[in-house]
Amino acid sequence: MLSGTPQSYPQREPLPRKKGRMFPWALAVLCALCAATSATEKCTVPADQQSLVTELQRSMESSVILQSPPNPSILIALNLAGGTQDGTKEKLLVQQIEDRIIKEGTAEMTSGEVALYILALLSSCEDPKRVTADINLVEVLTLKTKEELTYLSYHSTPKTTFYQLSLDTLALCLERADVDEAALSLAKEALAKDFSVDTGAMATLALTCVHKGLVKAEQSRILEPIHEALDKLRQQILRAVETNTANTYSIGLALQALNVTSVSYLSGDWSCSQTLAKVLTEISQGAFDNPMAAAQILPSLVGKTYLNVIRLSCSSDKVMVEYTIINQLRGQHFTHTIPVSVPKGSVLLSVLQAAQQDNPQDFSYKTEQTSWGLMVVSINSRAADSNDKTYWEFFNGTEPLDQGVDSYIPSNNEHIKAVFSMY
């Protein structure tokens, strides 16, 4: 399950839409930050107050414990802010997400939950298309988004909410899936309805992502409604702030949405430094102590939005290895191939471990310690046997490896083969 707080469930708004506490400086925050691209003053947290942002991040990390349900929003925010200070917390969050997907499946998940998991895995440089060999979250989300759109066509409302449909569109857009139909439907609905602040902000992020990718001539038919929808959503967000219908938990997403628009706003007497000083004052007074509120505001404080999850640096930390096991010698023959990702510098044994974790049915293995080092004695239940002189031989392409699985270090895009052989 996702976090038990109501705002963490994507099937409804992150928090109830009510007229609660509203910061008097909120409109100025929005205007000043959104105008930052055209102003000479940079919208960055002063060095002497960076500790407040660091403390906000540390507080979010402390909310992540072994027994807690997976919270993709916190993982996204922490990664956008540069990663967790305690590396084990990121691994724990990723593991919690993957465990839930594997143990509970995706059938009962809403489309928005799947979309959040995709964004979270992307932010941690994990491939949502390969949670396991049999679970491709992008395919799952594509089908669930089609269900949302079909329901929308008959009932004038999606199967869940427009907030979730916006999340779906954003996640699929970042994965470069075909989202033209979803984006066009979302734009038309945004023009016909008045979205809440959170829904409008998420729709803005999604439509901005799609708009940036519209380069083909045949896609021009959806450019105009998307452009019109973005303009209306931007004005709605500003008006909601003015009329105090945006609350503490909405301000973060509102900042993200307006920060990706290309329109400059008049900032009046507000300077960026004054605006950020007020934001940081509210942080110091505990306004964002709730982990979900912190997760929404943190990306904007470091100049990031959900659109940045695919721009995080991943390639230097991981290597991709194609791993194939082949038995054409004894018993039932088989050939299985799986791509796996392991940390750079990992030994071959880590590849076997990752393959077994992704697909234990085909890539299980056993090892024995010998005087020559660790030896693989069985793969996919096919065991080596000294009586018939069989063993598992490893190759880099067509070249036999001259090192054992506990010492050989594969390089990126290497093809490792394990072949059941005779000596």
Q: DSSP labels for 207-233?
A: HHHHHHT--SGGGGGGHHHHHHHHHHH
Question: What span, in angstroms and rounded, lies between the C-alpha atoms of 45 and 66?
Answer: 32
Contact status, residue 116 vs residue 10, Cβ threshold 8 Å: yes
At 316 the three-state DSSP class reads coil
363 labeled part of a ligand binding site:
no
Phi, psi of 96 (to 5 degrees): -60, -40
Write the CA distances from 154 to 142, 159, 181, 225, integer angstroms: 19, 10, 15, 21
Task: Give the Cβ contact number of residue 289 at 10 Å.
Answer: 13
Write the CA distances from 276 to 52, 240, 249, integer angstroms: 12, 20, 17
Task: Give the Cβ contact number of residue 312 at 10 Å.
Answer: 15
Taking the alpha carbons of 263, 267, 272, 277 in that order, is the dihedral positive or negative? negative
164 labeled part of a ligand binding site:
yes
Contact status, residue 106 vs residue 135, Cβ threshold 8 Å: yes
Q: Which two tokens mark 195? A: 């979205």
161 labeled part of a ligand binding site:
yes
Residue with tokens 């896609």: 219
163 labeled part of a ligand binding site:
yes
Q: DSSP labels for 114-130?
A: HHHHHHHHHHTT--GGG
Q: DSSP labels for 54-112?
A: HHHHHHHHHT--TTSPP-HHHHHHHHHTT--SSHHHHHHHHHHHHHHHHHH-STTS-HH
Taking the alpha carbons of 400, 405, 408, 411 in that order, is the dihedral positive or negative? positive
Of the candidates 205, 302, 254, 270, which has an alpha carbon nearest to the alpha carbon of residue 39?
Answer: 270
357 labeled part of a ligand binding site:
no
Question: What span, in angstroms and rounded, lies between the C-alpha atoms of 38 and 203?
Answer: 24
195 labeled part of a ligand binding site:
no
Task: Give the Cβ contact number of residue 21 at 10 Å.
Answer: 8
Phi, psi of 422 (to 5 degrees): -120, 150
Strands 390-396 and 414-422: antiparallel
122 labeled part of a ligand binding site:
no
296 labeled part of a ligand binding site:
yes
Known binding-site residues for cyanocob(III)alamin equal: 160-164, 198, 247, 296, 401, 423
Known binding-site residues equal: 160-164, 198, 247, 296, 401, 423
